[in-house]
Chains A and B, each alone.
Chain A
Amino acid sequence: MTTAIGAPLDRVDGRPKVTGKARYSADVPMPDMAYACLVNSRIANGRVTGIDTSEAEEEAGVLAVLTHENLPRIASQPPLVPSLAGGPAPGETFFPMQDEVVHYGGQHIAMVVADTYERAQHAAALVRVSYEESPPVTTIEQGRDQAYEPDAIFAGFIPGRTERGDVRTGLSQADVQVEATYTYAGNNHNPIETSTTTARWDGDELVLHDATQGVNATQLTVAALLGLPLSKVRVKSQFVGGSFGGKAMIWHHPALAALAARKVGRPVKLALTREQMFTSCGHREVQEQKITLGAKDDGRLTALRHHKLSPTSPFDNWAEPSLNAAGQMYACPNYEGVYRLFRANTMTPTFMRAPGDATGMFSLECAMDELAERLGLDPLELRLRNFADVDPASGNPWSSNGLSECYERGAARFGWHDRDPRPGARREGNWLIGTGMAAACYPVTPPNTPQRARARLYADGSVVVQASTPEFGTGVATAMAQVAADALAVPVDRCRLEKGDTDFPQIAAAVASSGAGMISAAVHLAATALRDQLIAQAVADSTSPLHGANPADVVVRDGVMAAGSASESYADLLRRNLQPDAEAMGTWNPPPPDTPYGMATFGAQFAEVAVDPELGLIRVRRMTGAFAPGRVLNSKTVRSQLMGGMLWGLGQALLESNHMHPATGRWVNSSLGEYLVAVNADAPDVDIEIIEVEDGVVNPLGVKGVGEIGQVGANAAIANAVHHATGRRVRKMPITIEDII
């Protein structure tokens, strides 16, 4: 029987999205809508000494001007816990406009509400703020001397220091050592849809339309901040216009929109501007990583030391977890990973695509390339010699792996083995040509709470599954229709996902590549339970042709249950019994943290670049990626996500950079004109192979997710190719013209 799962189905919501019919959080029409605009601090450290709102208040249409002097105090500040954990998930443990202190540039210090967006914006520009300014700390050079080693980052989820074996002994046993320091520019998410919340009070009940990766995370966070019962907060989010981690945590604007709506007694829409997106929802922090590798002459690693230094906010111990995948990639008996932080005038950084591992694996994979060169080994061969048969972090077996096949298939597709290893050996006119490769690894992180979905089959045979998850570009509505179709054995075009509403069964925020795995688990279990329930009903129904059959003998195809020659459709069963529909819940209990398996997704990345050494130009000519993401739910959307990830890797390697002006503590490149992301003209041929591996541990369908793995290693493959082309090691991201000439 052909299955829906894995088929390259077109997106079910493609047409409404491209024709403008899909409703995003700013598109929800409401009568009597008011509009809020935020005023942001122009200093990064100090305090507000006065806010003159009189001019703004006199403008036509202005309904309210809120500042720390009149905004209600929040009920409680929940701790910073990643939204995947299923609890309140504030982006930082600081809520603005509670007092006059300014901690970072762009901090929200006032909010204007008016009857039109334009009037609110104009009045916001008329709010006069005076400051007492102190010199800010914003750069690594300013903070290096004050750095400390935190006990833990990530709300205690990740220790500040991880050791196994003894790294000094390992280094002393090494025949060869490589030590290198890598620096990383700050990155911003830049989804097309800026973060937006539309808030409406219905008596004491709050309804939010919020651009979020998890409606329950918004609900839990806003309820805690405002002191509301969860039953009085409903959050909807049908469509989200991209996120990449910028909407993974719940920042201040949903609660501010709710407070504004309560103040003016009207629905309020609060949409961040593009510029505010750079200072309102976190970013990938500027960072420095130092790698020390020790290896024997044959290439086997004896030691890996990986230290990271980065700025965090005054309130939270945040570092993106850059030492995860890099710590479990290779069989290496002696390991030391350390995070060091310093307090800076920044908001708390946050998740951004391939959080942590985009940078951590860049450091490791560039260092491995240096090691291969030192040893005279092919870079791929060096990686094969250090293949980790078990998870080095725990000693547990892998739940599934597939890395060897990724290396093999990726290398074959790319033509890796024809490579002349000498740097700078290939020239075409003004261009030097080089190739590079890198391994990719991203941990599989199950959610911490049960995930639920509901399946309903109507008496006409059509199916609705419900889960609270929003659709933020991954294709979840399409993939979950495929999952439901296979579990119920009905045609996929009869199945539909209803989503994006806290009134539906709870799904945690879809972050860290966890969405496809956890949502498919809940949908699969719900649909399977419904199928079993309908079979049980039929065999117990004396009027059914299937009466008395053994449920285990019943097979279903195209919505028709059959046992031997007897058969009946789901629809006939329901109609005969005058049932409008049948429903079942599915609850998936994720593997606990002590699950005795290493769980990670693997891949291999290859890139060919052309470098014009005189003009410093770097152009990526082609990329090949081979990945083993477990079960593929929709081969088209999976391929798209992997390709998008690889191009993100290109952007991070060569383009994406924000720059802090040290004297003022403000980001300089806060627009899409000046903050460069890759455009179509930069995108080369991207060749992708998917290695399917079975995984019986991670979740019922063995789905490991593809949101991040495409990016991991793509940047390192490009940097290694730049070295191969030119002979030059550039140990930073992005690599730009001035690094080459």
Chain B
Amino acid sequence: MRPISYSRATDAAGAIAVVSADPTTDYLAGGTTEIDLLRQNVLTPRRLVDINELPLAGIDDAPDGSLRIGALTRMSEAAVSPLVRERFPVIAQALEMGASPQLRNMASIGGNLLQRVRCSYYRDAVSPCNKREPGTGCSAIDGFSRGHAVLGTSEHCIATHPSDLAVALAALDARVHTRGQDGEQAYGIDDFFLTPDHTPHREHPLQHGELITTIEVPTAPVARRSMYLKVRDRESYEFALVSVAGALSLVDGTIADVRLALGGVGTKPWRAHRAEGVLLGASADRESFASAARTEMSDARPTTFNAFKVELAQRAIVRVLETLKANGSPA
């Protein structure tokens, strides 16, 4: 591992100033992905500023029913929060299906959104990879791409965004609040994650040194009847091949409100706007569910190894909608 200097931040403004001033300095939060990648020479900062002692943990309940989740709240803390479980079960489920208990005890909510892709070619520090070394090419497109994306891909990168939490947040129109040299910012979650296009090394719009402080989840009565379905080979400790975050509200058998987002298939947490468009106002039956799923996946660009995801994602969408429908009206 490269020699690295380490310091512990005691106030946010100081930390932001230090990191912003030096492109070779990075923040360290839970470290559950970052340390692995440092050891493998995939990330190569010279300095780390540990932000774990900054007062950015905890979950606040706003009068309007929205939640503000501090960026340093641990995944396990957020998952057990009664506020989260009651209002946004899809978030709690997504958190509990991510990683392992040990990792969830360490990993922060802010870090979860910024976790790096699981593409083996990115992580081996050797293969050509446009995300790690822009301009070297993408090894995955002609390589082993079973876990890779079919939506939002480009000829430069097909890596899947790995977060489960971000899929749930995408379905709920969460906002990411940050603080940087230029003051505070807020990003809609859909704008926070970038598709690779020509710049796969750019995964989000943050300036270097801009620090995530809070995740805001706006009030959403529909989310009380929400769920997260994660399809994977083994029961625990595996990233999604396909996942679906969904919420559904029916009035007289007609879809009055619906939220859908996909994981495991997109280069970013994939809000299924087109499927939602088909569903809103439609009757809640298998035919509309299937039609919505087909519409959402119609632009998919699969490889030999991940072609099954196009069909699997549609089936997972239908399964989630049918399950939500069968579960009855929200309390």
What is the interface of chain A, defined by CB distance below 8 A to chain B?
A: 42, 118, 121-122, 125, 275, 430, 614-617, 619, 654-655, 659, 661, 663-664, 666, 668-671, 673-674, 676, 678-682, 734, 736-738, 741
Contacts and interface: CB of A to CB of B under 8 A. Distances in A.
Nearest to B127: A664
A430 B316 CA distance: 12
Contacts of A655: 233-234
B6 interface: no
Contact of B315 (A615, A670, A738): A615
A741 B234 contact: no
Contact of B144 (A275, A661, A737): A661
A615 B1 contact: no
B1 A122 contact: yes
Given A737-B233, A737-B241, A614 B308 contact: no
Contact of B312 (A275, A666, A741): A741
Interface string B297-316: 00000000000100110011
A668 B120 contact: yes
A680 B236 contact: yes
29 contacts: A42-B126, A121-B39, A614-B319, A615-B231, A615-B315, A615-B316, A616-B231, A617-B231, A654-B233, A655-B234, A661-B139, A663-B143, A664-B139, A666-B124, A666-B126, A668-B121, A668-B144, A669-B120, A671-B120, A674-B120, A679-B234, A679-B235, A681-B236, A682-B235, A682-B236, A734-B233, A736-B233, A737-B241, A738-B312
Contacts of A738: 146, 308, 312
A659 B148 CA distance: 14
Contact of B235 (A619, A734, A741): A619
Given A670-B120, A741-B311, 15 more contacts: A42-B126, A125-B2, A654-B234, A659-B144, A661-B127, A661-B139, A661-B143, A663-B142, A663-B143, A668-B120, A671-B120, A681-B237, A682-B234, A736-B233, A741-B315
Given A118-B1, A121-B1, A681 B231 contact: no
A126 B139 CA distance: 23
Contact of A741 (B2, B139, B233, B308): B308
Contacts of A42: 126
B152 to A, nearest CB: 21
B1 to A, nearest CB: 5
A78 B29 CA distance: 51
Contacts of A680: 236
Nearest to B306: A738
Interface residues of B, number: 32
Contact of B231 (A654, A678, A737): A737
Contacts of A736: 233
A679 B2 contact: no
Contact of B3 (A122, A659, A668, A681): A122
The 8 closest A-B pairs by CB, nearest first: A681-B235, A738-B308, A681-B236, A668-B144, A659-B144, A668-B120, A614-B315, A42-B126
A736 B237 CA distance: 16
Contacts of B142: 663
Interface string B1-44: 11100000000000000000000000000000000000111000
Nearest to B235: A681
B118 interface: yes
Contacts of B233: 654-655, 676, 734, 736-737
B282 to A, nearest CB: 21
A734 B233 CA distance: 10
B235 A122 contact: no
A737 B312 contact: yes
A617 B319 CA distance: 13
Interface string B120-131: 110110110000
B238 interface: yes
A678 B237 CA distance: 10
Contact of A615 (B2, B237, B319): B319
A613 to B, nearest CB: 10
Nearest to A736: B233
Interface in B217-243: 231, 233-238, 241
Contacts of A674: 118, 120
B297 to A, nearest CB: 14
A390 B268 CA distance: 62
Contacts of A615: 231, 312, 315-316, 319
B315 A679 contact: no
A291 B87 CA distance: 57
A655 B234 CA distance: 7
A682 B146 CA distance: 21
Contacts of A664: 127, 139
Contacts of A619: 235
Contacts of B118: 673-674
Nearest to B229: A615
B236 A737 contact: no
B127 A679 contact: no
Nearest to A680: B236
Nearest to A619: B235
Nearest to B316: A615
Contacts of A654: 233-234
A624 to B, nearest CB: 21
Contacts of B126: 42, 666
Contacts of B312: 615-616, 737-738, 741
Residue picked from A655, A670, A737, most chain B C-beta under 10 Å: A737
B141 to A, nearest CB: 11
Contacts of B2: 122, 125
Interface string B122-158: 0110110000000000010011101000000000000
A125 B41 contact: yes
B127 to A, nearest CB: 7
B151 to A, nearest CB: 18
Contacts of B1: 118, 121-122
Contacts of B127: 661, 664, 666
A652 to B, nearest CB: 13
Nearest to A121: B1
B138 to A, nearest CB: 13
Contacts of B41: 125
B30 to A, nearest CB: 16
A661 B235 CA distance: 26
Nearest to A667: B120
A679 B237 contact: yes
Contacts of A118: 1
A712 to B, nearest CB: 22
Contacts of A661: 127, 139, 143-144
A275 B146 CA distance: 20
A654 B232 CA distance: 11
A666 B236 CA distance: 27
A626 to B, nearest CB: 26
Among A430, A669, A674, A736, residue most surrounded by chain B Cβ atoms (within 10 Å): A674
Nearest to B120: A668
A663 to B, nearest CB: 7
Given A615-B312, A661-B143, A663-B142, A679 B236 contact: yes
Given A118-B1, A125-B41, A654-B233, A676 B238 contact: yes
Interface string B28-66: 000000000001110000000000000000000000000
A604 B284 CA distance: 49
A616 B2 CA distance: 43
Contacts of A678: 234
A429 to B, nearest CB: 11
A668 B315 contact: no
Nearest to B128: A664
Contacts of A121: 1, 39
B231 A676 contact: no
A671 B121 CA distance: 12
Contacts of B311: 741
A737 B308 CA distance: 9
A499 B234 CA distance: 38
B287 to A, nearest CB: 16
Interface in B233-280: 233-238, 241
